[in-house]
Amino acid sequence: QVDGARSSSPPTRPRGADPSASMAPKRRRQQARDADADDAGDAGGGKVDIVDDADAEASPKKGSGAAAEGKEEELPPLPFQQRGSGFLLAMSLAFTAIVWQHWIRQYSKKSQVTNAAPELETVSAYSGHSVLEVDYEDEDEGEDDDGDNAKTTQWLHLRDVFGSDSDNLLIVDTDNFNATVSRATTPLLVAYCDPRSMSFRDLRPHLEQTAAELAAKEAEGNPIGRLAVSDVTLDTWLAHAEAPEMTLGWQAPHGAFRFGVSRFFPVIIKLYLDGQAQFEYKGVVSAPQIVKFLERMQVSRNGNKLDGAPALRDVLEKPGPSVVGCGLPDGSNASKAFSQAAKSLMGTCIFGIVSADTCDQVFGPPAEESAGQPRLIWVRGEGSSAAPRVLGKPKLLEDAEQIVKWVGSHRIVQEMTPDNSHVFLDGPEPLVVFLVQPNSTSDMQLVESVVTDVETLIEGKGSRPKFADFRFTWSDCKTFGNEFKAKKDCMKSPVIILVHPLTLQWEKAPLQDLLTNTDAEEQGRNVAFAVFSWLDEKWEPWRRDLVSRQRDSESEDKGTKGSEQKPESQKSTERKEQPKAKIDAWGFKKASKALQRALGVKGQAEPGTPSANPAWYSNSLPALKNVQKEPWRSFHLYHAMLVEMADLRESFEASHAADMNFDFSEMEAVQKQHPDLRLLPRWREIRDAFQKRRTPKMWARVERHAQMRHSMEAHGTLNSSHSSETEKLAKIGLLAYKGLLRLFSLFQRFFETLHAKDALGELTTAQYRESKVDRRDASELSVREFFEKYAFKARPVIITGLKMSEQPWTLDYFAKTCNTTVELKRKNDASEEWGMLESAELLPLADFIGTFRTNESRKHMYLHDWPLPLNCPQIFGQAPYGGFYVPKYFAGDYFQRSAFTGYQHTWPSLFVGSELTESALHIDSGNTNFWMYLLSGKKEWRFYDRKHLINLYAKPLTPHFYTDVFRPEHENLPLLKYAEVFVGIQEPGDLIYIPGGNPHGVRNLAAIHGISMNFVDASNVWLHLQKQLDNEMWREFESFTDNTSVPHGLSSTQKTLTFGEWKSRRWKDNFTFDIDF
Residue 782 has pLDDT above 90, yes or no: yes
Q: What type of residue sits at position 686?
A: I
- What span, in angstroms and rounded, lies between the C-alpha atoms of 23 and 84? 9
Burial class, 47, CB count within 10 angstroms (exposed 0-12 / middle 13-18 / buried 19+): middle
Q: Is the pLDDT of residue 101 over 90?
A: no
Residue 856 CB-density burial (10 A; 0-12 exposed, 13-18 middle, 19+ buried): exposed
Strands (E) across 327-415 are located at 350-354, 375-379, 389-391, 414-415
Least confident residue range of 294-308, 448-462, 928-942: 448-462
Q: What is the pLDDT of residues 416-459, one digit of tens each?
A: 887 677 677 766 778 889 998 888 877 777 777 777 676 666 55
The amino acid at 889: Y
Q: What is d(CA 819, CA 283) in angstroms, rounded to the nearest whole number?
A: 35
Cα angle for residues 97, 129, 258 (degrees, 5° grid): 55
In order of 312, 322, 358, 378, 558, the CA distances from 315 in angstroms are 5, 8, 13, 12, 55
Q: What is the pLDDT of residue 36?
A: 33
pLDDT of residue 8: 31
At 521 the pLDDT is 44
pLDDT at 78 (0 to 100): 26
What is residue 14's predicted lDDT score, i.e. its pLDDT?
33
- Read off the pLDDT of each residue in 283-295 and give the average, rounded to a whole number: 86
Q: How confident is the model at residue 348 (pLDDT cuts 50, 70, 90)?
A: confident
Question: In the prediction, which pLDDT does 166 show?
Answer: 60
C-alpha span between 223 and 186 (Å, rounded): 7
Please give the angle made by the CA atoms of 698, 703 and 704, to the nearest 5 degrees.
Answer: 105
Radius of gyration of the chain from Cα atoms? 33
Rounded CA-CA distance 909/928 in Å is 14
pLDDT at position 123 is 25
Helix (H, G, I), strand (E, B) or coil at 1000: strand
pLDDT in tens, 981-1037: 999 999 999 999 999 999 999 999 999 999 999 999 999 999 999 999 998 888 788
How deeply is 1039 buried, as exposed, middle or buried, from its count of CB atoms within 10 A (0-12, 13-18, 19+)?
Answer: buried
- Residue pair 929/1014 in contact (Cβ under 8 Å)? The answer is yes
Check residue 385 and give its pLDDT. Answer: 57
Q: Given this model, what pLDDT does residue 790 score?
A: 97
Mean pLDDT of 961-978: 89
Cα 832 → chain centroid:
26
**Complete edge-to-edge strand list for the sheet that includes strand 414-415:** 46-47, 505-510, 495-499, 431-436, 471-476, 414-415
Supply the DSSP string of 219-268, one letter for each residue.
HTT----EEEEEETTTSHHHHHHH-TT-SGGGS-S-SS-SS--------E
* Beta strands 991-994 and 268-273, pairing class: unpaired
> What secondary structure does DSSP assign to 24-59, as a single string?
SPPBPPPP---SS-SS-S-TT-EE-----GGGGG-P
**Mean pLDDT score, 699-726:** 73
pLDDT of residue 553: 63
- Three-state DSSP class for residue 421: helix
Flag whether pLDDT at 149 surpasses 60.
no
- C-alpha to C-alpha distance for 294 and 285, rounded to whole angstroms: 13
Helix (H, G, I), strand (E, B) or coil at 572: helix
**Residue 176 or 625, more confident:** 176
Which tens digit of pLDDT belongs to each residue from 470-502?
A: 788 888 888 888 888 888 888 888 899 998 877
- At 1018 the pLDDT is 95
More confident: 23 or 636: 636
- Sign (positive/negative) of CA torsion 755, 759, 765, 766? positive
d(CA 395, CA 402): 9
User: Residue 539: its pLDDT value, please?
Assistant: 84
Stretch 134-138: mean pLDDT: 32
Q: How many residues are recorded in the chain?
A: 1077
The mean pLDDT value for 336-343 works out to 90
H or E element in which residue 750 lies: helix 724-759
Q: pLDDT tens-digit profile of 185-224?
A: 889 999 998 887 767 877 888 899 999 999 999 999 989 9
Higher pLDDT, 718 or 1017: 1017
Instruction: Please enumerate in sequence order all residues whose Cβ is within 8 A of that of 861, keeping only pairs 6 or more positions apart, or say none.
Output: 824, 825, 826, 840, 841, 848, 852, 913, 917
Largest CA distance in the chain: 110
Instruction: Indicate if the pLDDT at residue 578 is higher than 80.
Output: no
711 vs 149: CA distance, rounded Å: 27
| pLDDT at site 1002 | 95
Measured CA to CA, the distance from residue 59 to residue 122 in angstroms comes to: 6
Is residue 16 predicted with pLDDT exceeding 60? no
What is the secondary structure of 896-915 as a DSSP string?
GGSTT-TTTT--SEEEEE-T
For residue 955, the model assigns a pLDDT of 85
Average pLDDT over residues 145-157: 41
Look at residue 834 in the predicted model and tell me its pLDDT. Answer: 67
Choose between 97 and 363: higher pLDDT: 363
- pLDDT of 949 higher than 90: yes
Within 8 A by CB and 6+ apart from 672, the residues are: none
**What confidence tens digit (pLDDT) does each residue in 825-873 have?**
998 877 767 667 888 899 999 999 999 999 999 999 999 999 999 999 9
Whole-number pLDDT of residue 689: 92
Q: Quick check: 591 and 737 in contact, CB under 8 A?
A: yes
Q: Which residue has the higher pLDDT, 521 or 1009?
A: 1009
Report d(CA 632, CA 717) in Å as an integer: 8
Does pLDDT of 897 surpass 70? yes
3-class DSSP state for residue 496?
A: strand
Complete DSSP assignment for 455-469: HHHHHHHT---SS--
pLDDT band at 769 (very low <50, low <70, confident <90, very high): confident
Instruction: Say whether 815 sits in a helix, a strand or coil.
Output: helix
Distance CA 873, CA 820 (A): 11
789: number of Cβ within 10 Å: 15
What does the pLDDT average to over 642-647?
95
- First CA to last CA distance, the chain: 49
Return d(Cα 64, Cα 77) in angstroms, integer.
16
Indicate whether 62 pLDDT > 60: no
What is the overall mean pLDDT for the chain? 74
Phi, psi of 680 (to 5 degrees): -70, 160
Question: Which is more confidently placed, 155 or 1034?
Answer: 1034
- By CB atoms closer than 10 A (0-12, 13-18, 19+), residue 385 is exposed
By C-alpha distance, which of 1031, 1028, 700 is closest to 895?
A: 1028
pLDDT over 90, % of the chain? 35
CA-CA distance, 1062 to 1015, in Å (whole number)? 13
CA quadruple 382, 387, 388, 391: dihedral, nearest 10: -160
Measured over the CA atoms of residue 604, residue 607, residue 613 and residue 618, the dihedral's sign is negative
pLDDT at residue 2, rounded to an integer: 27
For 303: left if phi > 0, alpha if psi spans -120 to 50, otherwise beta; the answer is: left
Give the C-alpha distances (Å, rounded to integers) separating 320 from 379, 410, 849.
7, 12, 54
Mean pLDDT of 324-332: 91
Of 792, 755, 756, 768, which is closest to residue 1021 (Cα–Cα)? Answer: 792
Q: Which pLDDT value is given to residue 801?
A: 97
**Which pLDDT does position 468 carry in this prediction?**
46
Neighbours of 681 (CB within 10 A): 23
The per-residue pLDDT for 862 is 93
Tell me what the mean pLDDT of segment 682-695 comes to.
91
Residue 967: how many other CB atoms lie within 10 Å: 6
Q: How far is CA 803 from CA 179, 376, 718, 934, 1016, in A?
A: 27, 61, 59, 12, 22
Share of the chain above pLDDT 70, in %: 69
Give the integer Cα–Cα distance in Å for 190 and 241: 13
Give yes or no for residue 766 having a pLDDT over 70: yes
State the Cα torsion 600-602-605-610 to the nearest 10°.
10
pLDDT at 900 over 90: no
407 pLDDT band, cuts 50/70/90, is confident
β-strands 1057-1058, 821-827: how paired?
unpaired
Please tell me the predicted confidence (pLDDT) of residue 881: 94
Which helix (H) or strand (E) segment holds residue 936: the answer is strand 929-944
More confident residue, 238 or 304: 238
pLDDT(132) > 60: no
> Range with the lowest mean pLDDT among 140-144, 348-352, 579-583?
579-583
Higher pLDDT, 269 or 77: 269
pLDDT above 90: residue 893: yes
According to DSSP, residue 934 is labeled E
Lowest-confidence range among 187-191, 708-712, 1046-1050?
Answer: 708-712
Q: Is the pLDDT at 332 greater than 80, yes or no?
A: yes
* Residues 365 and 371: beta-carbon distance below 8 Å: yes
pLDDT at 780 > cutoff 90: yes
